Chains A and B, each alone.
Chain A
Amino acid sequence: MQPIGLYLKLGFEHISDFAGFDHMLFLVALTAVYRLSEWRRILILVTAFTVGHSVTLAWVSLSDASIPSQFIEFLIPTTILLTAVHNVLREPPDGGSRGMGQHYAMALFFGLIHGMGFSNYFRALLMGSDSVVVPLLGFNVGIEAGQIVVVAAIVALSFVFQNLVGVKHREWNLFVSGAAFGTSLMLMAQAKFW
């Protein structure tokens, strides 16, 4: 197996099992408040998050930039908490793409933060090795592929609760965002760096 395939598999498995639950929780908070009919918005949100992820990946792997890992580990659950709060306070407007700019910008910015965790980790492991870029690229592509699976599962679950069980959209939003808020608060307490 060539290294890129090996790292791609690693990234996919990491994100699509519950070991990577903070990343998964972010995707839940980001996408669960949308209806299946809003798939275009979901696609743009996930793409924005992916772009953010990839920018950090390129930046950290091609420069000497270093951000303290304790800080990043605290920031990651913070992004989940802020997304949950944002869902409740600024619920996405109905229909179309109007009023979604803030949501997309947030997904992009938070993608930058999530990408830092992996980049720092891989750089420590692979520094001085032949290439950091190829393994990081493979891992990132694997992560993105895993994200598609996770988001599809979230949207399906959301559809079941809202369309088959009959849970109202606002109640579903509060339920999902509340769960994400509580869990991320605990993660922030565990990762506090001061």
Chain B
Amino acid sequence: MAATAHPLRLSLSEIEYRAEQSLLTISLRLFLTDVNEALVFDPNSAALAFCQPNESPNAVPLLLSYLYDYFYVKANGERVDLRIKSKTLSGEGANQALVLLIESEQAPPLRSLEIHNTVFTDLFFDQSNIVYLDVDGELKSFMLNKETPALRFSY
């Protein structure tokens, strides 16, 4: 939240695996002010203009470069390629979120999954990153932060 008075620092990632479709889907929701703070050190910057007609050609490479360090998913020990299938904006004003959809082929069987999410913990001590995990219909949810940066599962 952008207000100085009542900061609530969250991001949400929804990770879904479907063995039948050999597909791993990641939906990552990040507040735009936090993204701007992380990438160009100004929460209200219009320089990158995500999802706008004048979106900067540097916007996605900068974001992926940041995510490389702070967000990754490993399936069977291999890092999943974060190729953005689509990106949209949700909400308005200071509460606008950038929604990234990432899809990756992942042939079964899924033996292990590692989720590392420390986005914006380098900026905010109280950043919490919510993770919803759905593996073939089995739903789980977690909270990652500075103290608990990663989750590991074996199947």
- A residues touching B (Cβ–Cβ < 8 Å)? 1-3, 6, 9-10, 14, 19-23, 66, 68-70, 73, 76-77, 117-118, 120-121, 123-129, 187, 190-191
Contact = CB atoms under 8 A, between A and B. Distances in A.
B34 to A, nearest CB: 11
B91 A123 contact: yes
A191 B4 contact: yes
Interface of B: 1-8, 10-12, 14, 29, 31, 90-97, 99, 126, 128, 130, 132, 140-143
Contacts of B130: 6
B10 A125 contact: yes
Given A6-B143, A73-B3, A126-B12, A120 B91 contact: yes
Contacts of A125: 10-12, 29, 31, 90-91, 97
A73 B141 contact: no
Contacts of B142: 1, 6
Given A1-B141, A6-B142, A129-B14, A124 B4 contact: no
A188 to B, nearest CB: 9
B5 A190 contact: yes
B5 A73 contact: yes
A21 B4 CA distance: 10
B5 A77 contact: yes
Contacts of B31: 124-125
Nearest to B11: A125
A118 B143 CA distance: 18
Nearest to A124: B91
A22 B95 contact: no
Contacts of B95: 69, 120-121, 123-124
Contacts of B132: 3, 129
A182 to B, nearest CB: 14
A139 to B, nearest CB: 9
Contacts of A129: 12, 14, 29, 132
